[in-house]
Amino acid sequence: MTLPTRRIGPFTVSAIGLGCMNLSHGYEPFPAEEDAARLLNRALDLGVTFLDTAAIYGDGANERLIGKAVMHRRREFTLASKCGLGVHDGKRGLDGRPEAVVSTLDGALARLGTDHIDLYYLHRLDRNVPIEDSVGALVRAKEAGKIGAIGLSEMSAATIRRAHAVHPIAAIQTEYSPWVRNPEVAVLDACRELGIGFVAFSPVARGFLAGAVRDDRYSGSDIRAVMPRFLEPQLSRNLALFDRFRAVAQAAGCTPAQLAIGWVLARGENIVPIPGTRSIAHLEEDVAAAGIAIDPAALAAVDAIFTPGAVAGRRYPPAMQAQVDTELLPEELEDA
């Protein structure tokens, strides 16, 4: 199958990519390896040509999964992975030192079973290392042929500009959906100005805008179990917003997940959403959003629901927020 395409740096990719994290990280229970492999191959069959992973996902397990499952179809997709956020001495943390970038990249190449990753991101900003040093290591990796283009994840417009001065940045990856609007503060403008592609992770709000969350009884390993907006008393307020959102989707003739993805697609031609899922049925639903024309009135209705300050609770708890460089919204600054 063929999907509409968009440009991310030097790459032409399907307008909707696949975030592979869910298959190994963040949302248990994880599928069996054969089921995960089946989903990855189904994504390629559906015309998805952009797969996104990272070293931190399952502490390398996600990269190994992709290496086993789809590298025999390597010519069919653009491969993206990330460094800088990982497990160091048994603890999750940041390490943007050039030597750590090189070590993580070499490990990723081995896990993926390849000698080249198309798009390689610095996953988070290590505030103890100048961004110029981290990007410099990625430039040298590009010159060595190990990677094809450089990206940054969850970084501010100021950091993006500093990095771009060292070497052109191909893509910025940040969470973006109707209920996470932080990129609108400055990052989207910086991307448009500098000609950088934007990759939107969690476009269905970690399942919330697909109707997957109705209470806060999560497993202990579910990353939403510590995120304020997914917990009571904030969750009940947010579920009321979802009920309105679901009604808009029904009137528009699509599912809530498709409305969320369509909303992201409508925000700019340089934006590629990468929803993730453990379900082939949900994968097919998500990918089908590329062929649905969302009426502008429905998009306006979405914006009327998720007005500034409407969502209750912060995106991340303090410990996770400390690892994120992306700008806060005005209402988040007031709450700081």
Residue positions annotated with a catalytic role:
57
Please state, in angstroms and rounded to a whole number, the distance separating the CA atoms of residues 102 and 85.
13
Q: Give yes or no for a contact between 67 and 114, defined as CB atoms under 8 angstroms apart.
A: yes
Other beta carbons within 10 angstroms of residue 34's beta carbon come to 8
Q: What helix, strand, coil percent values describe the chain, rounded to 5?
A: 45, 15, 40
Q: Give yes or no for a contact between 301 and 248, defined as CB atoms under 8 angstroms apart.
A: yes
Tokens of 217: 């009884």
Residue 177 DSSP label: B
Burial of 59 (0-12, 13-18, 19+ CB in 10 A): middle
Q: Is the dihedral of CA 123, 145, 269, 262 positive or negative?
A: negative
DSSP three-state, residue 152: strand
Other beta carbons within 10 angstroms of residue 98's beta carbon come to 16
Tokens of 121: 């991101």
